Amino acid sequence: MIKSSVLDKGFIEVVDSLGNDLTVVNSARVSFGKRKTKFDKSDERLVRYLAKHKHYSPFRHLQVQFHIKAPEFVMRQWYKHVVGIETSSSSSTKDHAWNEISGRYVPYDEFYEPTEFRKQSEDNKQASDGLIDEQVEATMYWRTTQNNTIETYNKLLDMGMAKEQARSILPLTVYTKVWWTASFQSIMNFIELRDEPTSQVEIQEYAKAMKKIMLKTFPETTKLWSEIYFDK
């Protein structure tokens, strides 16, 4: 089982996977009635060709099922990729599934705390740049506010308030868990968009961890795809 820790309490874990490095080339060669049993240089050339010329359907035969634990604000950004797969005209299949733990049934008890606090970028309204000077004071305010909110949430639950209502006061730092199943193409698209400097730092960490996991799961296919799209 492949599992990678992310941030202070998060993780990405591979639950299951479908296919191997030969899956893509055998899917592509089915038109000619051919099937390989060993990956070689000709397969490298074919994978490069397919990726470079955007022949994506063979890559969708590779799928991975992940168990992911991340702060709610990270999951909100992540879910945009799920919605994108649903609505994009360039994706002819809905090659994914997404299920999340429910705060209606399970109380939340873990929250993310940054190790440092970043400064708002002057050039990019949605990005950070460097660190603020008041690190100690910011940490104090952060912890006080978050701890007070968590304490209030637990008191409301002790009063018998419904979980579905009490959860509405929780901060976006609350950790949530999902199971995400997606094709190789969808996963690599997520990595391409989120492992880059303008993405929020926290989701970048998940994208970097995801890339390492994909290199272990489908080493040849991930390496060749990366050469085309990432290592420019």
Domains and CATH numbers, the chain: 3-107+175-229 (3.30.1360.170), 118-169 (no CATH)
123: which residues sit within 8 A by CB, 6+ positions away?
129
194 catalytically annotated: yes
Q: What angle do CA 182, 185, 191 make, to 5 degrees?
A: 85
3-class secondary structure, 48 = helix
70: which residues sit within 8 A by CB, 6+ positions away?
6, 7, 10, 78, 175, 176, 178, 202, 206
Q: 45, 104, 167, 194: which is the annotated catalytic residue?
A: 194
Q: pLDDT tens, position by position, for the chain (232 residues)?
A: 899 999 999 999 999 999 999 999 999 999 888 888 999 999 999 999 999 999 999 999 999 999 999 999 999 999 887 765 554 545 444 667 899 999 999 999 999 999 999 999 888 888 888 999 999 999 999 999 999 999 999 999 999 999 999 999 999 999 999 999 999 999 999 999 999 988 999 999 999 999 999 999 999 999 999 999 987 6
